[in-house]
Amino acid sequence: MKKTTYRGIEKKQARWGVAFVVPSVLFFCLFSFYPIINAMFTSLFDKRILSLAAPKFLGLGNYIYIFKSASFWNSMRATLVFTLGTFIPLLVFSLMFATFIYNICGRRSRGFFQIAYYTPAVLSSVVAAAIWLLILAPPGLGNQVLNWLCRTPGVDRKWLANGTMLQFSTMLVYFWKYIGYFVILFITGLATIPPTIYEAATIDGSSKWQSFWRITVPLLKPTILLVSVMAMLQCLKTFSTQYLFTQSGGAAQDPINVITLNIYETGIRNQRIGRASAMSIVLFVIMLVLTFAQFKISKSDDVDY
């Protein structure tokens, strides 16, 4: 840092900057860094949640154990499937619908669609799960609507029973919940692209399809980056849908035993807090790496208008 260039005023200002930042920093120290450092420390021990005795030091034993355990890899698979299966459709469909709404609708219907698509996000996850469990139960609306559309009365689609369908169901609920939010994000992004650019492109003779790929997508890059990072982190951290589906819906756990659910089960139900901490640290590192990768990739060619 350029220590010598600080002059009186700048030094004074720097102090104000520090003063503005300090309250939050203290907060994060206490409620984020301390717990995560504590979790890192715990992950090195065979700590049982109820035990009062000093836990046995395992070194990297917990990490070695989880990397050998089938249940951990099953969770990695479940998390990966869920993340890819949710975040790619979310990205594609929200961009698609945002483009539709932005280009086709008038001002009023644009607002209407945005609000309507967003309403599911207003419900809390407990409520959303309660609704969807009724819809996806065998005699529920899910089977009825699909059978009505496909003209196949009486077929049970096994939304919560069949492993593949169950994974699809959790993705569906997530998609339903977040599509509106991302559509809104993209519409706001689209609104920032100056219309003159499109006009120029039309004069150049490019089709709408071409201008979408050549103008809209590159200029939307910051939004796409933001949406993809956010959606990805959210998907990796998903917990409540899977938790409520298995707790109150009678759904099988193995197909949707995502990593956070596994952490909760291992740490709380099975009392192995050391092993659970090791899993959390692995998840933390994965998220850090993926986020940095996404930022790195996108930073290499920043957009200019």
Alpha-carbon distance of 117 to 150, in angstroms, equals 25
The one segment of 55-63, 81-89, 251-259 that binds other proteins by CB under 8 A: 251-259
Asked if 57 touches other proteins (CB under 8 A), the answer is no
Asked if 102 touches other proteins (CB under 8 A), the answer is no
Q: Which of 64, 104, 146, 150 touches other proteins (CB under 8 A)?
A: 104
Q: Which of 181, 231, 242, 256 touches other proteins (CB under 8 A)?
A: 181
Asked if 131 touches other proteins (CB under 8 A), the answer is yes
Write the CB contacts of 244 (distance below 8 Å, at least 6 apart in sequence). 125, 126, 129, 130, 133
Asked if 241 touches other proteins (CB under 8 A), the answer is no
Residue among 115 and 297 whose Cβ is closer to other proteins: 115
| Helices and strands in the chain, H and E counts | 15, 2
> Of 215, 237, 230, 238, whose CA–CA distance to 185 is shortest?
230
Asked if 106 touches other proteins (CB under 8 A), the answer is no
Q: Which of residues 254-273 bind other proteins (CB under 8 A)?
A: 254-255, 260, 263-265, 267-271, 273
Closest contact distance (angstroms) between CB of 133 and other proteins is 9
270-289 mask for other proteins (x: CB under 8 A)?
xx-x--xx--xx-xx--xx-
Q: Which of 44, 171, 184, 256 touches other proteins (CB under 8 A)?
A: 184
Q: Which of residues 66-95 bind other proteins (CB under 8 A)?
A: none
CA distances 127 to 56, 78, 163, 256, Å, are: 42, 24, 24, 20
Asked if 202 touches other proteins (CB under 8 A), the answer is no
Asked if 218 touches other proteins (CB under 8 A), the answer is no
Going by their DSSP bridges, the two strands 56-57 and 45-46 should be labelled as: antiparallel
CA distances 48 to 55, 106, 206, 270, Å, are: 7, 60, 65, 9
Asked if 126 touches other proteins (CB under 8 A), the answer is yes
Residue among 70 and 300 whose Cβ is closer to other proteins: 70
The one segment of 15-23, 55-63, 83-91 that binds other proteins by CB under 8 A: 15-23
138-177 mask for other proteins (x: CB under 8 A)?
xxxx-xxx-x-----xxxx-xxxxxx------------x-
Asked if 196 touches other proteins (CB under 8 A), the answer is no
CA dihedral 74, 75, 80, 83 (to 10 degrees): 140
Closest contact distance (angstroms) between CB of 297 and other proteins is 17
Alpha-carbon distance of 179 to 234, in angstroms, equals 13
Burial of 203 (0-12, 13-18, 19+ CB in 10 A): exposed
Asked if 192 touches other proteins (CB under 8 A), the answer is yes
Residue among 60 and 248 whose Cβ is closer to other proteins: 248
DSSP letter (8 states) at residue 154: T
Asked if 64 touches other proteins (CB under 8 A), the answer is no
Alpha-carbon distance of 282 to 276, in angstroms, equals 10
Q: How many residues lie near other proteins (CB under 8 A)? A: 137
Buried b (16+ CB within 10 A) or exposed e, 151-176: eeeeeebebbeeeebbbbbbbbbbbb
